[in-house]
Amino acid sequence: MTKFIRRLQKIGSSILVSLPIEWVKANKLEKSDEVELETGTSSISITPTGSSKPPKEVVIEYPVSKEENISADVTGAYLLGYDIIKIKGKSAISIEDREKIRALMRRLVGMEIVDEDATNVNVQFLLDATTLSPDKILKRMSSIALGMFRDTINSLTSEDKTVLQTIPSRDDEIDRQYFLLVRLIRSAMVDRKLATALNLGNIDILDYRVAANLLETAGDTIVELANSIHDLSMTKSVLKKLYTIAAEIENIHEKSITSFTENNRLLAIEAIRLQRNYQKKISGMLSLLQPKKEVSIQLLDLVYTFEKLAKCWADVADLVKPVYT
């Protein structure tokens, strides 16, 4: 985004400002053409009428430098909001790198290979960003994480732990939605029209970015939890106590996400209070087990992971803004 400074001029009863000639030429505008003005509290956006915004395009030269890799370059372009990514080779693109690109298409929501030959691969984002909803994407991430969490803690008291093997692949879907949400809110940062269509102010964009990161971290934490539980060796009574306390995290989770998406400050305060109470309960459980010498490294690791997860949800609730009169 290029910035220009212009001085306001008064002609008759009108206040005028000149448009940068570079922008006028780039949009092929001439005298008497119309532009659309969209105003905010402290902002204004100007869009040529009757013309759609040209797709953002980037070219990645192949082969990439030794310090980079093709997967990182394509992912970076996706997250920066590029609609068309052209991988242009000076030589034939290797089979290994083609497979990496195809694997990426399965991870990056909306991206498809639209053209390909020996030295070139062109991929394009085929979704209309204005039809996407940050709320829905965040709720999708939350729903997947909640299902993962339920199955993981249920295995604490179950003999069958095969469900734990599905957790990492389910976390991959959280990552897909995370990348899509990051792309959407980054695009909204530089496209005022998109931000208006999504009803996102500057603070909202920042909050969604933080919330998305917290949910992605929660997904990774649940994978850690599943790995820990898979090789756990504890008495059934201790596992039952752990399950009872861990199950309370689900309530924190649901209230936190709902409070954020509905901007409900009272519900957010309740979620934060639940997280603090949970902290006290799990500390109390450890105090009871210490005299019996039932506190192991495994148990401490498990408790730490539970606390980390509960904190992720509470931090989402903490993003909900207070209401001032």
d(CA 153, CA 226): 8
- The answer to whether 158 touches 230, Cβ cutoff 8 Å, is no
> Any idea how long the chain is?
325
Domains of the chain: 9-48 (no CATH), 57-125 (3.30.110.60), 130-317 (1.20.58.220)
Q: Tens of pLDDT along 134-154?
A: 999 999 999 999 999 999 999
Q: Tens of pLDDT along 193-226?
A: 889 889 998 899 999 999 999 999 999 999 999 9
E-only strand ranges, the chain:
9-11, 14-16, 35-39, 44-48, 57-62, 84-89, 111-116, 120-125
- The answer to whether 238 touches 294, Cβ cutoff 8 Å, is yes
- Could you tell me the two tokens for 306? 């539970």
d(CA 172, CA 103): 12
pLDDT-based confidence at residue 293 (cuts at 50, 70, 90): low
pLDDT-based confidence at residue 50 (cuts at 50, 70, 90): low
d(CA 252, CA 142): 12
d(CA 192, CA 168): 37
The identity of residue 291, as a single letter, is P
Round to the nearest angstrom and report the end-to-end CA distance of the chain. Answer: 36
pTM for this one?
0.82
